[in-house]
């Protein structure tokens, strides 16, 4: 009983210390934080308002210190429903709806934008917003390719903009506690970290090109990607086409890669090797459904394992995220395993908590330390708003988002070259002595007028 009470006390202490130390506020209802006069509210626009965009705009609009003036999406059929959702979240104030987000950037009254488009638009939209003097919350992954990320960092710094990447695990008090536990040496010497991203995501049938649905500006949706007629398979499953994304290692796995890189305190890999396959070939998907990558850092190996044909692997659901529950680690789809000389730490993203196991006693598991988690979206949004006002770098600053995205992009380059080992120079951010690999470092070209220029 004494041990249990000590652990509960430690958890409460860590949450309190880390929350205040990081400038975080855990709010059940952000509206209750303070009543903010209209002229002191942060005026925002959302760019892309489907699933994740809707969640972010509702979360921020529900705060007392934020208001959305614009809702931008290439699909005008969303305007009525999303406009009502946003109005309901901000006490009846209706947003102006625009198909071309660039017209929103012309409004000097807009302080910040939230970008939740498909991956291939993240960097062009973020750079345009920085150049227009807007602060930016951009969904993960930051970039479509290696080169784009550095351009975004430069645009943010040159224009003195706050850019928060949507890797919200960096704002979770329980993850901050895990990092402190590691930094304090309690896990011992660490030479191996294993990262997992396992789920069920089946291939999908190829379909012929067709006319776009009514209300959709396909030209704008396609944006910087190569010219292509509307195709429903691409529109609905862009995550699995190289022109628009990099498969699930960067789409969803970036959350775990970013968290693992942060917890382990590593920056650029010295080398990267990745192999895999699209085993389910009956369909249009281009990216792998099984993939393994190895990242070599100084004194640390990090591996990444992807499976998209494992329906028994379970992502942390809302009940787990919002309660004192740990995942069943062997079947947790998005876990991180950090192996130290004093124990192994299992970490769950998005509120999954963490536990440290040492050698068993009497064949029973021994938990050295643990901490429950909570879903960190409100914390991450709070951090973004605080940094807009303070001008301090946010928890998931663009530089951090760029370096984490590099891991997935480099792994994909290795995979696309048949599993070639890539040597990487972090100082120059170049693949060493491999001109063929460098051809994948960025797009061959960007379609006008959607080019990327910091």
Q: What is the pLDDT of residue 353?
A: 98
Q: For residue 206, what are the CA distances in angstroms to 200, 311, 399?
A: 19, 23, 37
Q: Which residue has the tokens 């850092």?
A: 297
What does the alpha-carbon distance between residue 210 and residue 35 come to, in Å, rounded to a whole number? 50
Residues 6+ apart with CB under 8 A from 40: 65
Neighbours of 256 (CB within 10 A): 26
Q: What is the DSSP string of 46-67?
A: EE--SHHHHHHHHHHHTSTTEE
Is residue 6 very low, low, confident or very high in pLDDT (cuts 50, 70, 90)? very low
pLDDT tens, residue by residue, 18-37 = 433 333 333 334 443 334 55
What does the alpha-carbon distance between residue 233 and residue 229 come to, in Å, rounded to a whole number? 12
For 1-23+170-436, CATH gives 3.30.360.10
Q: What is the dihedral of CA 63, 93, 79, 119, to 10 degrees?
A: -30
Whole-angstrom Cα Rg for the chain: 22
Average pLDDT over residues 34-41: 63
In a 13 Å sphere around the CA of 436, the CA atoms on its Cβ side amount to 8
Share of residues in the chain with pLDDT > 70 (%):
91
Q: For residue 146, what are the CA distances in angstroms to 80, 245, 249, 401?
A: 37, 12, 14, 11
Average pLDDT over residues 350-371: 97
What does the alpha-carbon distance between residue 18 and residue 244 come to, in Å, rounded to a whole number? 38
Is residue 390 very low, low, confident or very high in pLDDT (cuts 50, 70, 90)? very high
What does the alpha-carbon distance between residue 403 and residue 257 come to, in Å, rounded to a whole number? 10
Average pLDDT over residues 120-134: 98
pLDDT tens, residue by residue, 393-432 = 999 999 999 999 999 999 999 999 999 999 999 999 999 9
For 24-169, CATH gives 3.40.50.720
Sheet of 42-47, strands arranged across: 96-98, 66-72, 42-47, 112-115, 135-138, 163-165
Average pLDDT value over all residues in the chain: 92
Report residue 130 CA to chain centroid gap: 19
Residue ranges of domains in the chain: 1-23+170-436, 24-169
pLDDT tens, residue by residue, 430-452 = 999 999 999 999 999 999 999 87
Q: What is the DSSP string of 122-184?
A: HHHHHHHHHHTT-EEEEPSSS-SSHHHHHHHHHHHHHTT--EEES-GGGG-HHHHHHHHHHHT
Q: What is the pLDDT of residue 23?
A: 36
Is 26 within 8 Å of 93 (Cβ atoms)? Answer: no
Distance spanning both ends of the chain, measured CA to CA = 58
| DSSP-H helix ranges across 165-252 | 173-183, 218-222, 232-236, 248-251
Using CB atoms within 10 A of its CB, is residue 340 exposed (0-12), middle (13-18) or buried (19+)?
A: buried
What does the alpha-carbon distance between residue 316 and residue 318 come to, in Å, rounded to a whole number? 7
Neighbours of 232 (CB within 10 A): 15
Q: What is the pLDDT of residue 39?
A: 65
| C-alpha closest to that of 272 among 293, 255, 251 | 293
Look at residue 243 and tell me whether its pLDDT is greater than 50: yes
Is 70 within 8 Å of 107 (Cβ atoms)? Answer: yes
């Amino acid at each position: 009983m004494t041990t249990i009470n000590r652990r509960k006390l430690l958890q409460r202490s860590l949450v309190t210390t880390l929350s205040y130390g990081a400038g975080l506020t855990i709010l059940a209802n952000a509206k209750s934080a303070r009543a903010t006069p209209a002229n002191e509210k942060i005026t925002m626009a959302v760019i892309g308002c489907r699933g994740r965009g809707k969640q972010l705009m509702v979360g921020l609009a529900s705060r007392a210190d934020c208001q959305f003036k614009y809702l931008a999406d290439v699909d005008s059929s969303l305007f009525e429903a999303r406009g009502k959702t946003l109005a309901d979240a901000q006490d009846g104030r209706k947003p102006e709806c625009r198909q071309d987000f660039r017209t929103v950037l012309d409004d000097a009254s807009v302080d910040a934008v939230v970008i939740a488009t498909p991956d291939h638009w993240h960097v062009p939209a973020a750079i345009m917003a920085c150049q227009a003097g807007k602060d930016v919350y951009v969904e993960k992954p930051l970039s479509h390719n290696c080169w784009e990320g550095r351009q975004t960092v430069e645009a943010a710094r040159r224009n003195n903009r706050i850019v928060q990447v949507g890797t919200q695990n960096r704002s979770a008090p329980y993850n901050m506690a895990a990092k402190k536990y590691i930094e304090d040496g309690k896990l011992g010497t660490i030479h191996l970290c294993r990262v997992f991203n396992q789920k069920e995501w089946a291939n999908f049938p190829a379909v012929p090109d067709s006319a776009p649905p009514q209300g959709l500006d396909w030209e704008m949706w396609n944006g910087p990607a190569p010219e292509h007629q509307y195709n429903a398979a691409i529109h609905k499953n862009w995550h699995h086409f190289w022109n628009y994304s990099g498969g699930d290692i960067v789409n969803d796995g970036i959350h775990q890669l970013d968290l693992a890189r942060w917890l382990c305190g590593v920056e650029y890999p010295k080398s990267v090797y990745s192999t895999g396959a699209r085993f389910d070939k009956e369909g249009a998907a281009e990216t792998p459904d099984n993939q393994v990558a190895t990242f070599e850092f100084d004194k640390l190996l990090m591996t990444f394992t992807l499976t998209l044909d494992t329906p028994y692997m379970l992502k942390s659901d809302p009940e787990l995220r919002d309660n004192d529950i740990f995942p069943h680690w062997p079947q947790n789809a998005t876990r991180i395993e950090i192996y130290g000389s004093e124990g192994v730490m299992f970490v769950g993203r998005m509120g999954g908590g963490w536990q440290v196991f040492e050698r068993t006693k009497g064949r029973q598991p021994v938990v050295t330390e643990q901490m429950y988690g909570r879903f960190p979206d409100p914390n991450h949004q709070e951090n973004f708003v605080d940094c807009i006002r303070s001008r301090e770098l946010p928890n998931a600053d663009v530089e951090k988002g760029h370096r984490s995205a590099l891991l997935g992009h480099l792994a994909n380059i290795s995979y696309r070259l048949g599993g070639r080992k890539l040597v990487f120079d972090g100082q120059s951010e170049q693949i060493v002595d491999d001109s063929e690999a460098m051809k994948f470092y960025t797009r061959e070209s960007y379609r006008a007028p959607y080019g990327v220029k910091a």
